[in-house]
Structure 1
Amino acid sequence: MNLLQRWAFALRLLLREWRSGELGVLLLALVVAVGAMTSVSFFADRIERGLSQQSARLLAADLVVNANAPLPAPWQDEARRLGLSLASSVSFPSMSFAGDEAALSNLKAVSAAYPLRGEVSLRLMNGREQNGRFAPAQGEAWVDARLLSRLKLKLGDRLGVGRLQLTIAGEILREPDGALDLYNFVPRLVFNQADLAASGLIQEGSRARYRLMVAGDGRQVEAFRRWAKSHLTPGMRLENIEEARPEVKTALERARRFLGIATMLTVALAAAAVAMAVRRYLARHWQSVAVMRALGMGSGEVWQVFALLFAMLALACGVIGAGLGYGLQWLLISVASGLGVETLPQPAWWLGLLGPLSSLVLLLGLALPPILALRQVSPLRVMRSETGAPRIGALAPVLALSALLLLAAWQVGDATLGLWLLGALGSFFVAVALVSMALLALVRRLARRSGKLGWRYGVANLARRPWLALIQLVALSVGLMALLLLTVVRGDLINSWQNSIPPDAPNKFAINIQEDQRAALGDSFVQSGRPAPELSPMVRARLLAINGKAVNPAKLADERARRLAEREFNLSWRDSLPAGNQIVAGKWWEGARVTPQFSVEAGLADTLGIRLGDSLSFDIAGTPYQAKVTSLRKVAWDNFRANFFVLAPPNWFAGERASYITSFRLPPESEGFVSQLLARFPNLTVIDIGVIITEVRAVVERLSRAVEVMFLLSLAAGVLVLWATFAATRHERLADMALMRALGASRRQLRVVLLSELAFIGALSGFLAGAGAMLTGAVIAKELLALPFTPNLWLLPGGVLLGMLVVCGAGWPLVGRVANAPPLAVLRAEL
């Protein structure tokens, strides 16, 4: 039989099996699995891209090119060629004047199209607020409250910048990209870019930042990003929302991990159902294989025919499942219409290939070992069925794990996350198998002493097929654990995530505090009834060398690494580990006097290639400092406290002149306290980061709601997969119940037996699932999401109750069909 003949035979066999209904359970399990996976992928892609686009209002664009000189014309030409919307701004410090008053201001000249994303919020001269996308008119300016206060101005007055006289048309309440620069601490003034030349403020050598903002379709933006990256020169950098603020980046990263966990659990559920369906299908076809062998087919030809059959089935189910997934994600989008995302982009086209490919990987990964075992089927099985089923061997779990790992890495996009979750699931499989064997043996002994028919025969059904019972318990425990993770534990994790930005998070930073002002500043807080804030010293330091090798930013391949190497660090020193910092490698110094050393933030170390024990050289005001890295820290950037990339012991920098920085919380009704501080300490700079906190909280809230919907989808997929798992054992139960009917059992007694069996499986699976969910939730919170987690003790009794309800509910249709099936017809079909 050549290859073409094998294809034709496999196709005929597939069509025959389809008409006979033999592939119904397997097809349903596979379509549900693929539909769940693809719908998660489609929906996650659309939500993530949509929320990233909406978060771009913090940039006032989808992508920003930041440069220290005007961008050449080809940059705008390329953006227009790609169909992108353009806006630009020029930012620089300068003095603003009003009569005899003058104040240093941060000026921003914006083009007419500003902002491309987000909205400007102004207070107008009539006292009303105006929100929208608009720029200042020529001859007008917008200023913030600090500039109005310092220059003693009101709306409608005029002020001077350079050679310009501008009318103050509005007070800035909010500007999209105004919250991004944490040290954008001087009063702000925004005016029309058409007035910039007349101001005479930009001259040769002026220190200004030029920003080209673009917005458009995701593919267009990505195309421009690729083009821009290949044309960047020194002094240029690309900005997106994740690079602009580490707090927002943390929120987005945690959302991706939540979405990845939901996807991974769905994949695990799908694999359990498909494995059960494949096992049952092939177990019913050993006799057919023996007939094929007896008719002259070789062992290699037999397994190749079934491999082709499963491959065609996988592709067909993949296409159907992808279509189902695409339809489901539209339903989810309508449910999630309140996410605050105005228009969601279409999912990436290549995700459509995920259905057939994931179906092929999943089915062949789980079915290939039993298919290969078909070569062991002897032609003698035609006459001697007691020869038993062929042995599958150790290849089955290896291939199954490989298939799951591949799908996890593919969908989650994070190999570490996939390995962690698969490791947890693998450990759970082993633990459930061992505990289940012990409990089955114990309950079997107890059942023999019971006089109740339902309990005794229900457990006896499991005892007669211990390996089938074991597979069911493992599959159902994993499924129920996923359901618990998707309900109880999910809520605990999301609450921890939302509470990671506490209501009392600092919303003010004070910098430029001098050494002789520290005590007086603390007294000002105490006198006003507030606790004295913690002050952290800070100096500007430039990284010169790593392990004696000079740092050359131009030779660094990573864009972020180049920026970090070009800039000066805010270096600080202290004797205790800051709040929100965690040592992940090495050891923190202790004692009053310690040897010179550095503690480096882990993300910075990874970006610059710094390892524990490396020697770093810094220049501080012309003085070189060199020491080894003795610890790496994970920093909670979203706690909005004074955090630093590099820390050193305090005694080492005793001779350096430093300024101090602190953070504190001030309620809106106490804003006057800032004016009191500035009146007493004129050199002090107070930065309001309340807008940043508001934006990050809004992003977290929207992402949390998106994750809620994602987990609901996985929950629904889990229930469907559990039903498919029960359907895969339908034939065994039909044979058992038919035999009992033939021996005189009533339909009511059969229902009691089946429900007792299902209740026992549900209770045991639920207990194991509750324990597994508790442990898995703790691992996910600590290792993957860096969140605090308190175990929910209700998971154990809740798991037992949920297991009994879900298993009995999912198995109820099966109970009816099995109890009502004519025993003679069933026994004839089995014989």
Structure 2
Amino acid sequence: MALTLAWRLFRRELQQGQLLLIILAITLAVLSVSGLARVSERLQVAITGQASQFIAADRIIDSPVKMDTAILAKAEALGLKHVTNLQFNSMVYSGDKFQLVTVRAVEAGYPLKGAIELRSGTTKALPQADEIWFESRLAGLLGHPQTIELGNSEFSLTHEIRRLPDAGFNPFASSPVVLMRMEDVAKTGIIQPGSRVTYLYQFAGDDAALKAFEQSVKPQLTQSQRWVDVQAGDSPIASAVKRAERFLLLASLMGIALACAAIGIAAQRYCQRHYDVVAMLKTFGASAKQIRLLFGTHLLLVTLLGIGLGLIGGALLDLGISGLLPPEIAAYSPPLTRPLLLGIGTGLLSSFMFSAYPLLRLLAIPPLRVLQRQLEGLQLGAWLHLLLCLSAMALMGYLYSQSWVLTLTVVAAVLLLGVLLTVLGFAMIRLGHSVGMKTTHPMQLALAGLRRRARQNALQLVGFSAALVLLLTILALRQDLLNEWQKQLPDNAPNYFLVNIAPEDTEPLQAFMQAQGIIATDIYPVIRGRLTHINDELLISNEEAQTGGQGRVGISRELNLTWRHQLPSNNELLEGQFNQAADEVSVESGVAERLGITIGDTLTYMIDNQALNVKVTSIRRVHWETLQPNFFMIFTQEALAPFAYTSMASFYLQDSAAQELANQGESVASNAVILALIQQFPTVSIIDVGAMVEQLRQIIEQVSLSLTLVLVLVLLASALVLIAQTEAGMATRQRELAVLRTFGASGGLLRTATGLEFALLGAIAGVLAVIVAEFALYLLKTQVFELNVYMHWPWWGIAPMSGALIVALLGYWRCRQLLNQSCADLLKLTV
């Protein structure tokens, strides 16, 4: 019987539109979460997939020895493609000339991702037997031979390599790279027992298989073996991908917060509208069980309907957005399971958790409300409502992002907003008390309305402020990330590196570049040395530590050291003062953290079998993504003066375009400039990173597009929340307008007062939003994105004005029908 009544009431209220707000809220919740999740995951998969071309695979195992065949069998069982590459150093000969090279021997199938860029174009093919593909500088160093000798065999030089997809970025690796087939290595006789070689096992496949492979294999790797992916820091895109994924996760968390706000608003409004219904049912003898079943059934049916509509809307949203994406991004299709489960779980969890307290208040309405309408039953337990809401939001946020930092940041922002609403918002609304009884002026009437609806207005401020907070936060982060990437990769980012510059070539090289109109970075001296002691404590390698060696674990290789009199432009001073005296050194922050180095420590280096003691006086953060010369340790020139050095520099040269000669006004192609440089400075090694810079810039453009799309989605979701919030107070406002019209208030007075009231609410929401957004941005920039923190002073004027304008327009638009009706029509509607 109760179920039949529940169904009849549900159908009637559905037809009358009384359930529209809560259905819209749940639909918005599910649509935002499932739609944003689907779009965000598509963008994440696409960005990661595009970025994986930097390592020519999805995952790599770097090993000094051959791996167990069982590991490769495991990869095959999971359906992963894999190839084995070999890398080693050797000398090549042509006549009486010789050169140290880095040999890359590859199997058929290489590269798994991306393509080899030759001077003649891109290709997926490999060298034929007895062929070697080579970097252009090798030919110049050997006098442009047709063949070279490598070990016991002779090979033809057939194609010039512009870039290998997994070449990485290491300007200190000055040996030219040559590419050959794996089958030809045995002919050379170079690889013998004990030879120093590196095996690169590359894998590619779907995400689920890669995760299963990682979980199975990674624990089996030794200390000398490395697991590498695009986010491991080995590619210049790593930082950009990590930040983009964090942004997409944050945007989806913001969508969840918006959804939760909409659910809470809708549930509160729904229950308030049924206070009289519950009082009447209790008066007519309905039991508490029957009433719980009645409204519980309503909530379940509304939730299921909202989830269904939300999932359909999310799918349509993903379909529409995919049509706007570039083909290379739209081609990626992540699994549907997670967005669907997330949408369903969000709909169920948020609707019940955010409806629990309003529903408890509804069920506790006393029968006496039939005579005394001010009675509302349960007045205590608001803390329970807050606890349930925050718990639901935190749980959904963590299940989605798997990041407590992001989740707790959103929760902390919500808590701060609640505190500000309790203290500042309610206090500002109460300012209308002294003039609230005077209603002859629109502003006085607006302030009176704020005071009369203080509790309802505080609830509306939650929705208005939350939407503005999310917009400000996402907008600021997007702009900061784009600015950061633009600074790292400007249009004239260096695309050539010069290494092995002899001291006597420094001034002639500078004169050459000046004559060619080439703008280069500073020339950095480079000296190799090993850090051996920290505060007289011996540093040992990982292998020595594992075998029982005593000492602090250090860096088991030589470092590239330099000197500078001033802090490099792409470095940020975190602590101390930069190199004031001869015996001082500045240390990069990551190395300092890893080795436990602090200001005042004494470091001992071994350079050319000589010990050098220096004092740490500053810690720097280095922006490694800038493709500029960067160093872990920077000394003073006096400290490194006794040691021999070479130098390096980088410069930008427009590829395949005319370059103006500064002194002669002639035009030459960039390759002619490079050829002239090689001929004049044959001992200087030239590294072309132009292809890498262009590929990196394409990835950044795709990331930028993803940030813009997510911003648009959050903007649309925020607008829906604002509309839902203005809907929440329409019934009360309708009764008040009827009373004011009855007592003679003119239509113009009411329209102006209503617009001013909503504008005041929007302005207050704008002020609160700025405070909370600055707090959230501080946490996000310092704990998640590693960006510079600064105040957004223009917001303090723009946000309140924008909030006032947007909320006033929305409120007036929603109230326009009521404001245009006559007194008699308003009285009929309130009956």
TM range (shorter): 0.7 to 0.9
Matched residue of 1:60: which SS?
A: coil
Q: Provide closer, same or farther for how the CA distance between residues 607 and 49 of structure 1 changes in structure 2, counting only shifts above 3 A.
A: farther
Matched residue of 2:231: which SS?
A: helix
The residue number in structure 1 matching 2:664 is none
RMSD, aligned α-carbons: 4.5
The answer on whether the counterparts of 2:468 and 2:803 sit within 8 Å (CA) in structure 1 is yes
Aligned-residue offset at 1:43: 1.3
Give distance in 2, aligned partners of 1:613 and 1:324. 60
**Structure 1 alignment gaps of length 5 or more:** 124-128, 557-561
The answer on whether the counterparts of 2:107 and 2:182 sit within 8 Å (CA) in structure 1 is yes
> What does 1:669-680 align with in structure 2 at a 5 Å threshold?
669=659
The answer on whether the counterparts of 2:498 and 2:684 sit within 8 Å (CA) in structure 1 is yes
Deviations 1:342-393 (A, max 9, x none): 6203236233221232234433443334445567644544543333452343
Aligned-residue offset at 1:48: 0.6
User: Match for 2:82 among 86, 89, 112?
Assistant: 86
Aligned-residue offset at 1:58: 1.3
Give distance in 1, aligned partners of 2:383 and 2:616. 46
Aligned-residue offset at 1:443: 5.8
Give distance in 2, aligned partners of 1:646 and 1:409. 39
User: Match for 2:482 among 476, 494, 517?
Assistant: 494
User: Match for 1:552 among 522, 525, 542?
Assistant: 542
The residue number in structure 2 matching 1:106 is 102
Aligned-residue offset at 1:473: 2.9
User: Match for 2:346 among 351, 358, 368?
Assistant: 358
The residue number in structure 2 matching 1:130 is 121
**Structure 2 alignment gaps of length 5 or more:** 547-551, 660-669
The residue number in structure 2 matching 1:636 is 623
Aligned-residue offset at 1:414: 3.2
The residue number in structure 1 matching 2:181 is 192
The residue number in structure 2 matching 1:409 is 398
User: Match for 2:197 among 203, 208, 222?
Assistant: 208
The residue number in structure 2 matching 1:696 is 696
Aligned partner of 2:111: which letter? P
| 2:252 is aligned with 1:259 | no
Aligned partner of 2:389: which letter? A
User: Match for 1:278 among 267, 273, 290?
Assistant: 267
Give distance in 1, aligned partners of 2:595 and 2:297. 50
Deviates more, 1:711-720 or 1:209-218: 209-218
The answer on whether the counterparts of 1:545 and 1:618 sit within 8 Å (CA) in structure 2 is no
Deviates more, 1:463-472 or 1:768-777: 768-777
Aligned-residue offset at 1:500: 3.4
Number of equivalent positions:
809
> What does 1:354-433 align with in structure 2 at a 5 Å threshold?
354-373=342-361, 377-389=365-377, 390-431=379-420
The residue number in structure 2 matching 1:580 is 570
Give distance in 2, aligned partners of 1:122 and 1:520. 31
The residue number in structure 2 matching 1:150 is 141
The answer on whether the counterparts of 1:506 and 1:663 sit within 8 Å (CA) in structure 2 is no
The answer on whether the counterparts of 1:141 and 1:169 sit within 8 Å (CA) in structure 2 is yes
Q: Provide closer, same or farther for how the CA distance between residues 285 and 436 of structure 1 changes in structure 2, counting only shifts above 3 A.
A: same
Aligned-residue offset at 1:726: 1.6
Aligned partner of 2:310: which letter? G
Give distance in 2, aligned partners of 1:379 and 1:608. 71
Q: Provide closer, same or farther for how the CA distance between residues 101 and 593 of structure 1 changes in structure 2, counting only shifts above 3 A.
A: closer
Q: Provide closer, same or farther for how the CA distance between residues 420 and 517 of structure 1 changes in structure 2, counting only shifts above 3 A.
A: farther
TM-score for the superposition, normalised by structure 1 = 0.82
Aligned partner of 1:552: which letter? N
Aligned-residue offset at 1:120: 2.2
Aligned-residue offset at 1:702: 0.8
The answer on whether the counterparts of 2:532 and 2:605 sit within 8 Å (CA) in structure 1 is yes
User: Match for 2:651 among 654, 657, 665?
Assistant: 665
Deviations 1:293-336 (A, max 9, x none): 66888989977986786567556644543443233222211222
Give distance in 2, aligned partners of 1:53 and 1:266. 25
Q: Provide closer, same or farther for how the CA distance between residues 727 and 219 of structure 1 changes in structure 2, counting only shifts above 3 A.
A: same
The residue number in structure 2 matching 1:47 is 43
| 2:236 is aligned with 1:240 | no
Give distance in 1, aligned partners of 2:444 and 2:521. 71
Matched residue of 2:113: which SS?
A: coil
| 2:458 is aligned with 1:470 | yes
The residue number in structure 2 matching 1:169 is 158
Give distance in 1, aligned partners of 2:566 and 2:2. 73
The answer on whether the counterparts of 1:535 and 1:662 sit within 8 Å (CA) in structure 2 is yes
The answer on whether the counterparts of 2:541 and 2:554 sit within 8 Å (CA) in structure 1 is no
Aligned-residue offset at 1:703: 0.7
Give distance in 2, aligned partners of 1:629 and 1:25. 63
TM-score for the superposition, normalised by structure 2 = 0.82
Give distance in 1, aligned partners of 2:187 and 2:84. 18
Matched residue of 2:60: which SS?
A: strand
Give distance in 2, aligned partners of 1:647 and 1:276. 58
The answer on whether the counterparts of 2:734 and 2:826 sit within 8 Å (CA) in structure 1 is yes
Aligned partner of 1:346: which letter? P
The answer on whether the counterparts of 1:573 and 1:647 sit within 8 Å (CA) in structure 2 is yes
Matched residue of 1:243: which SS?
A: coil
Aligned partner of 2:630: which letter? N
Matched residue of 2:488: which SS?
A: coil
The answer on whether the counterparts of 1:46 and 1:347 sit within 8 Å (CA) in structure 2 is no
Aligned partner of 1:131: which letter? T
Aligned partner of 2:221: which letter? L
Aligned-residue offset at 1:709: 1.0
The answer on whether the counterparts of 1:497 and 1:787 sit within 8 Å (CA) in structure 2 is no
Matched residue of 1:104: which SS?
A: strand
Deviates more, 1:49-58 or 1:778-787: 778-787
The answer on whether the counterparts of 1:87 and 1:214 sit within 8 Å (CA) in structure 2 is yes
Deviates more, 1:188-197 or 1:28-37: 188-197
Q: Provide closer, same or farther for how the CA distance between residues 825 and 577 of structure 1 changes in structure 2, counting only shifts above 3 A.
A: same
The answer on whether the counterparts of 1:241 and 1:248 sit within 8 Å (CA) in structure 2 is yes
Q: Provide closer, same or farther for how the CA distance between residues 810 and 829 of structure 1 changes in structure 2, counting only shifts above 3 A.
A: closer
Give distance in 1, aligned partners of 2:804 and 2:470. 15
Q: Provide closer, same or farther for how the CA distance between residues 9 and 555 of structure 1 changes in structure 2, counting only shifts above 3 A.
A: farther
The answer on whether the counterparts of 1:601 and 1:646 sit within 8 Å (CA) in structure 2 is no
Deviates more, 1:242-251 or 1:372-381: 372-381
